[in-house]
Amino acid sequence: MRLIFKIVLAAFITLLLLLRFEIIGQPMMNMSFRYSDNKINKLFKGEDRQPEIHHMTFENHQLRYLTMISDPSKPFVVFIHGAPGSSADYLQYLRDEKLYASINIIDVDRLGYGYSGFGHAETSIQKQGEAIHSIIRKITISKNIILVGHSFGGPIAVRMAMDFPDAYSNLILLAPALDPDHEKQFKIGHLAMIKPTRWLTPPALRVAADEKYSHIDELKKMLPHYNHLKIPIIHIHGTKDSLVPYENLEFSKQHINPKILETISLENVDHFLPWTHHDFIVNKILELTQSD
Protein backbone atom coordinates (compact mmCIF):
# COMPACT_ATOMS: atom_id res chain seq x y z
CA MET A 1 0.00 0.00 0.00
CA ARG A 2 2.83 2.42 0.81
CA LEU A 3 4.38 1.81 -2.61
CA ILE A 4 1.05 2.41 -4.36
CA PHE A 5 0.57 5.59 -2.37
CA LYS A 6 4.03 6.86 -3.38
CA ILE A 7 3.39 6.09 -7.04
CA VAL A 8 0.04 7.87 -7.03
CA LEU A 9 1.52 10.83 -5.14
CA ALA A 10 4.42 11.10 -7.60
CA ALA A 11 2.02 11.16 -10.55
CA PHE A 12 -0.18 13.73 -8.82
CA ILE A 13 2.70 16.04 -7.96
CA THR A 14 4.06 15.80 -11.50
CA LEU A 15 0.67 16.80 -12.84
CA LEU A 16 0.50 19.76 -10.48
CA LEU A 17 3.95 20.93 -11.54
CA LEU A 18 3.05 20.72 -15.19
CA LEU A 19 -0.23 22.54 -14.67
CA ARG A 20 1.56 25.32 -12.81
CA PHE A 21 4.09 25.75 -15.59
CA GLU A 22 1.28 25.82 -18.14
CA ILE A 23 -0.62 28.48 -16.20
CA ILE A 24 2.35 30.85 -16.17
CA GLY A 25 3.05 30.26 -19.83
CA GLN A 26 6.17 28.09 -19.80
CA PRO A 27 6.21 25.59 -22.68
CA MET A 28 4.79 22.21 -21.77
CA MET A 29 6.82 20.08 -24.19
CA ASN A 30 5.25 16.75 -23.05
CA MET A 31 6.92 16.72 -19.63
CA SER A 32 10.39 17.24 -21.10
CA PHE A 33 10.36 21.05 -20.81
CA ARG A 34 12.05 21.29 -24.21
CA TYR A 35 11.39 21.78 -27.90
CA SER A 36 13.11 19.78 -30.63
CA ASP A 37 14.95 21.48 -33.49
CA ASN A 38 12.01 20.73 -35.78
CA LYS A 39 9.52 22.13 -33.31
CA ILE A 40 11.48 25.38 -32.94
CA ASN A 41 11.72 25.72 -36.72
CA LYS A 42 7.95 25.24 -36.99
CA LEU A 43 7.27 27.78 -34.25
CA PHE A 44 9.26 30.43 -36.12
CA LYS A 45 8.14 29.41 -39.62
CA GLY A 46 7.00 32.39 -41.63
CA GLU A 47 8.45 34.93 -39.21
CA ASP A 48 10.90 37.58 -40.39
CA ARG A 49 13.58 36.37 -37.97
CA GLN A 50 14.41 32.82 -37.01
CA PRO A 51 16.93 31.57 -34.47
CA GLU A 52 19.86 29.49 -35.60
CA ILE A 53 20.12 26.13 -33.85
CA HIS A 54 23.59 24.81 -33.02
CA HIS A 55 25.08 21.62 -31.57
CA MET A 56 28.60 21.19 -30.21
CA THR A 57 30.62 18.96 -27.90
CA PHE A 58 32.07 19.96 -24.55
CA GLU A 59 34.18 17.38 -22.69
CA ASN A 60 32.22 14.51 -24.24
CA HIS A 61 28.91 16.24 -23.47
CA GLN A 62 26.57 17.25 -26.26
CA LEU A 63 25.40 20.86 -26.06
CA ARG A 64 22.62 22.63 -27.92
CA TYR A 65 22.06 26.36 -28.06
CA LEU A 66 20.12 28.91 -30.06
CA THR A 67 21.39 32.21 -31.40
CA MET A 68 19.78 35.33 -32.78
CA ILE A 69 22.60 37.51 -34.06
CA SER A 70 21.79 40.75 -35.84
CA ASP A 71 25.20 42.43 -35.64
CA PRO A 72 28.27 40.84 -33.96
CA SER A 73 29.47 44.29 -32.92
CA LYS A 74 26.44 44.73 -30.66
CA PRO A 75 26.34 43.47 -27.06
CA PHE A 76 25.52 39.83 -26.41
CA VAL A 77 22.96 38.56 -23.90
CA VAL A 78 23.16 34.96 -22.68
CA PHE A 79 20.03 33.42 -21.14
CA ILE A 80 20.55 30.66 -18.56
CA HIS A 81 17.44 28.73 -17.49
CA GLY A 82 16.52 27.20 -14.18
CA ALA A 83 15.50 23.67 -13.17
CA PRO A 84 13.69 22.12 -14.90
CA GLY A 85 13.80 24.08 -18.13
CA SER A 86 15.57 24.58 -21.43
CA SER A 87 16.30 27.19 -24.07
CA ALA A 88 12.57 27.09 -24.84
CA ASP A 89 12.00 29.14 -21.67
CA TYR A 90 13.27 32.24 -23.46
CA LEU A 91 11.73 31.95 -26.92
CA GLN A 92 9.68 35.10 -26.32
CA TYR A 93 12.94 37.01 -25.87
CA LEU A 94 14.20 35.73 -29.20
CA ARG A 95 11.06 37.19 -30.74
CA ASP A 96 11.36 40.57 -29.02
CA GLU A 97 11.85 43.31 -31.63
CA LYS A 98 13.40 45.77 -29.18
CA LEU A 99 16.03 43.25 -28.16
CA TYR A 100 16.79 42.24 -31.73
CA ALA A 101 17.42 45.88 -32.64
CA SER A 102 19.94 46.34 -29.84
CA ILE A 103 21.62 43.05 -28.94
CA ASN A 104 22.58 39.53 -29.96
CA ILE A 105 21.12 36.57 -28.06
CA ILE A 106 22.58 33.24 -27.00
CA ASP A 107 20.00 30.90 -25.47
CA VAL A 108 21.38 27.66 -24.03
CA ASP A 109 20.21 24.24 -23.00
CA ARG A 110 22.06 23.60 -19.74
CA LEU A 111 23.79 20.27 -19.20
CA GLY A 112 21.13 17.66 -18.45
CA TYR A 113 18.26 19.59 -20.04
CA GLY A 114 16.86 20.30 -23.47
CA TYR A 115 19.17 18.65 -25.97
CA SER A 116 22.36 18.94 -23.89
CA GLY A 117 22.70 15.43 -22.53
CA PHE A 118 19.04 15.29 -21.60
CA GLY A 119 18.35 13.27 -18.47
CA HIS A 120 21.98 13.07 -17.32
CA ALA A 121 22.52 15.43 -14.41
CA GLU A 122 25.62 17.58 -14.05
CA THR A 123 25.33 18.85 -10.49
CA SER A 124 28.56 20.89 -10.49
CA ILE A 125 27.72 24.58 -10.77
CA GLN A 126 31.28 25.24 -11.91
CA LYS A 127 31.06 22.64 -14.68
CA GLN A 128 27.69 24.00 -15.83
CA GLY A 129 29.30 27.43 -16.13
CA GLU A 130 32.33 26.11 -17.99
CA ALA A 131 30.06 24.46 -20.55
CA ILE A 132 28.16 27.71 -21.19
CA HIS A 133 31.41 29.67 -21.32
CA SER A 134 32.65 27.30 -24.03
CA ILE A 135 29.52 28.05 -26.07
CA ILE A 136 30.03 31.79 -25.73
CA ARG A 137 33.67 31.66 -26.72
CA LYS A 138 32.81 29.60 -29.79
CA ILE A 139 30.59 32.48 -30.94
CA THR A 140 32.38 35.65 -29.89
CA ILE A 141 35.49 37.06 -28.24
CA SER A 142 33.54 40.13 -27.17
CA LYS A 143 33.57 41.09 -23.50
CA ASN A 144 30.36 43.09 -23.86
CA ILE A 145 28.27 40.19 -22.63
CA ILE A 146 25.35 40.23 -20.19
CA LEU A 147 24.53 36.98 -18.39
CA VAL A 148 20.87 36.56 -17.42
CA GLY A 149 20.26 33.69 -15.00
CA HIS A 150 16.92 32.61 -13.55
CA SER A 151 16.52 30.47 -10.42
CA PHE A 152 19.19 27.72 -10.56
CA GLY A 153 20.61 29.55 -13.57
CA GLY A 154 21.45 32.48 -11.27
CA PRO A 155 24.29 30.84 -9.33
CA ILE A 156 25.68 29.48 -12.60
CA ALA A 157 25.89 33.03 -13.95
CA VAL A 158 27.54 34.16 -10.70
CA ARG A 159 30.02 31.28 -10.83
CA MET A 160 30.93 32.19 -14.41
CA ALA A 161 31.65 35.76 -13.33
CA MET A 162 33.81 34.38 -10.51
CA ASP A 163 35.77 31.98 -12.71
CA PHE A 164 36.07 34.30 -15.73
CA PRO A 165 36.20 37.77 -14.14
CA ASP A 166 37.27 39.57 -17.31
CA ALA A 167 34.93 37.81 -19.73
CA TYR A 168 31.59 39.48 -19.04
CA SER A 169 30.17 42.96 -18.57
CA ASN A 170 27.05 42.52 -16.40
CA LEU A 171 24.88 40.02 -14.54
CA ILE A 172 21.10 40.07 -14.25
CA LEU A 173 19.92 37.58 -11.64
CA LEU A 174 16.23 36.67 -11.66
CA ALA A 175 15.18 35.10 -8.35
CA PRO A 176 18.56 33.35 -8.06
CA ALA A 177 19.04 30.49 -5.60
CA LEU A 178 22.29 31.69 -4.01
CA ASP A 179 21.91 31.26 -0.26
CA PRO A 180 22.80 27.77 1.05
CA ASP A 181 21.11 28.57 4.37
CA HIS A 182 17.79 29.28 2.65
CA GLU A 183 17.77 26.49 0.10
CA LYS A 184 14.27 25.07 0.37
CA GLN A 185 13.95 21.29 0.37
CA PHE A 186 10.60 19.86 -0.70
CA LYS A 187 9.69 16.46 0.68
CA ILE A 188 7.93 15.57 -2.56
CA GLY A 189 11.25 15.99 -4.38
CA HIS A 190 12.47 12.90 -2.54
CA LEU A 191 10.18 10.85 -4.77
CA ALA A 192 12.56 11.49 -7.66
CA MET A 193 15.49 10.24 -5.59
CA ILE A 194 14.25 6.83 -4.42
CA LYS A 195 14.06 3.71 -6.57
CA PRO A 196 10.34 2.88 -6.21
CA THR A 197 9.27 6.23 -7.68
CA ARG A 198 12.34 7.59 -9.49
CA TRP A 199 11.59 5.57 -12.62
CA LEU A 200 8.17 7.21 -12.83
CA THR A 201 9.58 10.72 -12.70
CA PRO A 202 10.16 12.45 -16.08
CA PRO A 203 13.90 12.81 -16.89
CA ALA A 204 13.91 16.61 -16.64
CA LEU A 205 12.42 16.43 -13.15
CA ARG A 206 14.93 13.76 -12.12
CA VAL A 207 17.77 16.03 -13.21
CA ALA A 208 16.19 18.92 -11.31
CA ALA A 209 15.97 16.74 -8.20
CA ASP A 210 19.60 15.67 -8.53
CA GLU A 211 20.62 19.32 -8.75
CA LYS A 212 18.38 20.24 -5.82
CA TYR A 213 19.86 17.67 -3.48
CA SER A 214 23.44 18.72 -4.21
CA HIS A 215 22.75 22.44 -4.40
CA ILE A 216 23.58 23.39 -0.82
CA ASP A 217 27.06 21.89 -1.05
CA GLU A 218 27.61 23.50 -4.45
CA LEU A 219 26.57 26.93 -3.15
CA LYS A 220 28.92 26.58 -0.18
CA LYS A 221 31.80 26.01 -2.59
CA MET A 222 31.13 29.47 -4.01
CA LEU A 223 31.26 31.33 -0.69
CA PRO A 224 35.05 32.02 -0.68
CA HIS A 225 34.88 33.48 -4.21
CA TYR A 226 32.38 36.32 -3.88
CA ASN A 227 35.24 38.78 -3.55
CA HIS A 228 36.22 37.84 -7.12
CA LEU A 229 33.11 39.52 -8.48
CA LYS A 230 33.85 42.88 -10.04
CA ILE A 231 31.20 43.55 -12.69
CA PRO A 232 27.81 45.26 -12.13
CA ILE A 233 25.14 42.87 -10.85
CA ILE A 234 21.36 43.35 -10.71
CA HIS A 235 19.47 41.00 -8.39
CA ILE A 236 15.68 41.00 -8.93
CA HIS A 237 13.45 39.05 -6.55
CA GLY A 238 9.75 38.79 -5.80
CA THR A 239 8.69 39.19 -2.18
CA LYS A 240 6.25 36.28 -2.50
CA ASP A 241 8.65 33.81 -4.07
CA SER A 242 7.47 30.39 -2.90
CA LEU A 243 10.32 28.39 -4.46
CA VAL A 244 13.47 30.47 -3.95
CA PRO A 245 13.02 32.47 -0.74
CA TYR A 246 13.17 36.26 -0.78
CA GLU A 247 15.98 35.98 1.81
CA ASN A 248 18.31 35.35 -1.13
CA LEU A 249 18.19 39.10 -1.78
CA GLU A 250 19.66 39.77 1.65
CA PHE A 251 22.33 37.16 0.96
CA SER A 252 23.43 39.13 -2.10
CA LYS A 253 23.60 42.31 -0.03
CA GLN A 254 25.82 40.57 2.51
CA HIS A 255 28.19 38.85 0.08
CA ILE A 256 28.44 41.08 -2.99
CA ASN A 257 30.28 44.40 -2.96
CA PRO A 258 27.57 47.08 -2.68
CA LYS A 259 29.46 49.21 -5.20
CA ILE A 260 28.60 46.72 -7.96
CA LEU A 261 25.22 45.46 -6.67
CA GLU A 262 21.73 46.75 -7.45
CA THR A 263 18.81 44.99 -5.79
CA ILE A 264 15.20 45.22 -6.93
CA SER A 265 12.27 43.93 -4.88
CA LEU A 266 9.02 43.20 -6.67
CA GLU A 267 6.11 43.34 -4.26
CA ASN A 268 3.73 40.36 -4.17
CA VAL A 269 5.53 38.67 -7.07
CA ASP A 270 6.32 34.95 -7.19
CA HIS A 271 9.17 33.03 -8.79
CA PHE A 272 8.41 33.01 -12.49
CA LEU A 273 9.89 36.34 -13.54
CA PRO A 274 11.02 35.48 -17.10
CA TRP A 275 7.40 34.92 -18.10
CA THR A 276 5.44 37.27 -15.85
CA HIS A 277 7.83 40.24 -16.16
CA HIS A 278 9.08 39.96 -19.72
CA ASP A 279 8.85 43.69 -20.55
CA PHE A 280 10.46 44.69 -17.25
CA ILE A 281 13.44 42.41 -17.90
CA VAL A 282 13.78 43.54 -21.50
CA ASN A 283 13.90 47.16 -20.36
CA LYS A 284 16.58 46.34 -17.78
CA ILE A 285 18.68 44.70 -20.47
CA LEU A 286 18.26 47.68 -22.77
CA GLU A 287 19.17 50.09 -19.96
CA LEU A 288 22.46 48.27 -19.52
CA THR A 289 23.28 48.29 -23.23
CA GLN A 290 22.38 51.96 -23.56
CA SER A 291 24.47 52.94 -20.56
CA ASP A 292 27.40 51.10 -22.11
Rounded to the nearest 5 percent, the helix, strand and coil shares of the chain are 50, 15, 35
Beta-bridged to residue 126, according to DSSP, are: none
pTM check: above 0.75? yes
Distance CA 29, CA 87 (A): 12
Distance CA 91, CA 237 (A): 22
Tens digit of each residue's pLDDT, the chain (292 residues): 565 555 555 555 554 454 444 333 444 445 789 999 999 999 999 999 999 999 999 999 999 999 999 999 999 999 999 999 999 999 999 999 999 999 999 999 999 999 999 999 999 999 999 999 999 999 999 999 999 999 999 999 999 999 999 999 999 999 999 999 998 655 555 555 555 655 567 888 889 989 999 999 999 999 999 999 999 999 999 999 999 999 999 999 999 999 999 999 999 999 999 999 999 999 999 999 986 5
- For the chain, domains (ranges, CATH) are 2-291 (3.40.50.1820)
